[in-house]
Amino acid sequence: MLDWLNALGQGLDIIMTWHRMALLWGGVLCGLALGILPGIGGVAGTALLLPFTYSMDPAAAMALLLGLAATTTHGDPISAIVLGAPGHAASAATALDGYPMTKRGEGARALGAAYMSALIGGLFGAVLMAVALPVVRPAILFIGSPELLALAVFGISMVAVLSGNAPLRGLTAACFGMMLAMIGSDPQTGTLRWTMDSLYLWEGLPLVPLTLGVFALPELCDLLVARTSVVQSGKMENNWKGLWRGCLDCYDHFWLNMRCSWIGSVIGAIPGISAAVIDWISYGHALKTEKEAQRTFGKGDVRGVIAAESATCSREGGALIPTIVFGVPGSAGMAILLGAFLMHGLVPGPDMLTKNLAITYSMVWSIAIANILGSGLCFLFSSQFAKLASLRYSLILPVVLCMVYIGAFEGKRQWGDLYSLLFFGVFAWAMKHFKWPRPPLVLGFILGGILERYMFISIQRYGVSWMWRPLVVVMFVMALLSLLRPFLQDVKAHGGLKGMLSDFHAPKLNSSQAFPVFMIVVFLVMMAEAMTWNFYARIIPTIVGSGALLFCTLSLCNDLFKSDVHKARSAEAAAKGEVDEKMHMDIGSNITHLSPTTIFLRGVIFFGWMVAFLISMALIGLIPTVPIFIIAFMRVEAKEPWSITLPMAIFMTFFIYFLFDWLLAIPWPGSFLGDFWPFWKEHIPSA
């Protein structure tokens, strides 16, 4: 034990030299900058900084890279809370409560709670890593494919609490997300599943454009439909007072912060489980365990922000553990960091826990100090971030949409990323306005591929005996209880099973039933194609598709035949405070005062701008499109003065060119002009 404490002190001495602290500062600044930009994330930043570490000593290189990795998630909450448009999957859960807080003038409070919980979570992850390193090896070796499968099943069960008062719709959305995750080449047989003869889909759909389309575009569309700012400046509380209130909220809910930080660190340490699912599991845990959560979450409850951010920011400490101990990266960023280890002569395994123990603990200190620096800088500028919510929509939308397009293109860097963004944007906007919860769709997509992969591995390796492993049994029981809980609550609310079965009437048609009918048709088409595949390629998609059809059909029948008597009785009781009314588990809409026709027409205008951006990009390229789009949008939509329009267009064009083209060297989508110009230069003069 004394050796470990001595190494901990040596690690602090190593990192506290001026040049390593300067590099740590540089990594923190890069991490915050990339975290704010939608879809870019820490993977691109880590890859960008890696060549600059060649001439550094190992501790200095790790300080730079871990400073970036530990703080990328600190920038995520800004767009999620202020605009309701999460730039990354890791901040999607934060938007569920952070954005409603902003709309009622408490954006600074939400940001304060997010940064303080991020600080606590990041420090917790670093401390857990320091404590766990001596004893973690046997625990990680115990976890095999059956345990990973059970964890994925438990994660899928979170749809029950993430669906609010529509569990059947949530289960349908989750199954659809799982089916989307199975698009591409089947890993078992090589069968191409639902690729529609598109090369882009052979390797599956990327997460980034799907997340941006599902969560960012619907909120941006509603902002244009409302044609106002997110919040009126008169409704905003004092920013510094709000930040302080957010910090006090973390103190008031300290144990929630601790529990969710534990969840983030532990799941982050498990290789093979996507980091994007951590905040959803943590949010679902808070939703099930916190008092009154079923009534207030999703409507601007600060506990939802705390739960999501503390888990998200604690995961880096956990993800570093298997990277150091086994050389198995716990995340995509850690995979690049593993390359940095080998480049600097650090071999993961026993050496990192013996002769290089001081360097290992310098990494722990790097993560801890980076979280302090990152949270401090975010606090410093949060008052300015909160003011973005009071800007006119015509000043926010053109800039954010340009960044969303660039972020979505980071999926595979193909045109298909932009088509996926647009498709899921339209689909998710319809989901939102037809009251279908969106979180289960993303959760199903994240876990669908994991579930299928570990299902086959477990069966091939263990037969059926894997189902009786202790941890698997515990996780399956917990998942079953999570899925049955909403059903049992519904039975109780109806006065028993008899009351539920008798609470029906003659069918009533309405426009909202068009969406489940559309989904049933989609499922039938997908199932029909699946029947032509190899047996092993279609078995899991068939099971999931059958469940989707069942849940969607039951939801449609429920809407067609369910009596309104129980709904009226529940609403009356909730108004009297006699029961807790369950919520629609999604970001609420602030455009309900408009007529459906107006909402539809303005929605068409929004997506028309999106299509126009794509057409211009296909003709002349992305960078020339940026100033044209910004000028056209600002002048046509709100007749903004040229004194504002031109400087904004020029600034954004040079910013995008410098950062993405010159610095990150992103290969932009091909365009007609870009492809035609080399042909012109080669052939026309010779003619």
Could you read off the pLDDT of 289-298 as tens digits, one per residue? 888 777 788 7
Q: Which residue has the higher pLDDT, 500 or 425?
A: 425
Q: What are the pLDDT digits (tens) for 534-583?
A: 888 888 899 899 989 998 998 888 777 765 555 555 545 444 444 444 45
What's the CA gap between 102 and 388, in Å, rounded?
Answer: 10
What's the CA gap between 571 and 296, in Å, rounded?
Answer: 15
62 belongs to a structural domain = yes
Q: Which residue has the higher pLDDT, 324 or 540?
A: 540
Q: List 562's β-bridge partners, or say none.
A: 504
393, 634 contact by CB (below 8 A)? no
Q: Looking at the 3D structure of the chain, how many domains does it have?
A: 2
Where is average pLDDT lowest: 334-338, 595-599, 612-616?
334-338
- Does the pLDDT of residue 35 top 80, yes or no? no
Say what the pLDDT of residue 407 is. 81
Mean pLDDT, the chain, rounded, equals 80
What's the CA gap between 660 and 39, in Å, rounded?
Answer: 12
- Does the pLDDT of residue 225 top 50, yes or no? yes
3-state secondary structure of 562: strand
Q: If we measure between CA atoms, which residue out of 591, 244, 618, 243 comes closest to residue 433?
A: 591
38, 87 contact by CB (below 8 A)? yes
What's the CA gap between 608 and 336, in Å, rounded?
Answer: 39
Judgement on whether residues 652 and 530 belong to the same structural domain of the protein: no
Taking the CA of residue 46 as centre, how many other CA atoms within 13 Å lie in the half-sphere pointing to its CB?
Answer: 24
What's the CA gap between 261 and 259, in Å, rounded?
Answer: 5
80 belongs to a structural domain = yes
Judgement on whether residues 290 and 349 belong to the same structural domain of the protein: yes
Judgement on whether residues 638 and 499 belong to the same structural domain of the protein: no
Judgement on whether residues 488 and 351 belong to the same structural domain of the protein: yes
Q: If we measure between CA atoms, which residue out of 62, 609, 533 comes closest to residue 340?
A: 62
232 belongs to a structural domain = no
The share of the chain scoring above pLDDT 90, in percent, equals 11
Judgement on whether residues 212 and 291 belong to the same structural domain of the protein: yes
Judgement on whether residues 497 and 604 belong to the same structural domain of the protein: no
- Does the pLDDT of residue 462 top 90, yes or no? no
136 belongs to a structural domain = yes
Judgement on whether residues 620 and 505 belong to the same structural domain of the protein: no
Average pLDDT of span 32-50:
69
Judgement on whether residues 666 and 559 belong to the same structural domain of the protein: no
3-state secondary structure of 184: strand
231 belongs to a structural domain = no
514 belongs to a structural domain = yes
What's the CA gap between 228 and 327, in Å, rounded?
Answer: 51
Q: What are the pLDDT digits (tens) for 339-363?
A: 787 777 877 777 777 777 888 888 8
Judgement on whether residues 522 and 661 belong to the same structural domain of the protein: no
Judgement on whether residues 141 and 35 belong to the same structural domain of the protein: yes
446, 276 contact by CB (below 8 A)? yes
64, 23 contact by CB (below 8 A)? yes
543 belongs to a structural domain = yes
The residue out of 514, 541, 575 marking a domain boundary is: 575
The residue out of 540, 575, 610 marking a domain boundary is: 575
Parent domain of 477: 2-225+238-575
Q: Which residue has the higher pLDDT, 661 or 627?
A: 627
Say what the pLDDT of residue 680 is. 54
To the nearest 10 degrees (0 to 180), the angle between helices 357-387 and 18-36 is 40
Q: 239 to each of 231, 233, 373, 384, 395, how far by Cα in Å?
A: 14, 11, 20, 8, 21
Judgement on whether residues 96 and 179 belong to the same structural domain of the protein: yes
Say what the pLDDT of residue 85 is. 75
586 belongs to a structural domain = no
Q: How many CB atoms lie within 10 A of CB 261?
A: 32
The first and second tokens of residue 250, run together, are 């973390």
Judgement on whether residues 411 and 351 belong to the same structural domain of the protein: yes
- Residue 65 binned pLDDT confidence (cut-offs 50, 70, 90): confident
Amino acid at 563: S
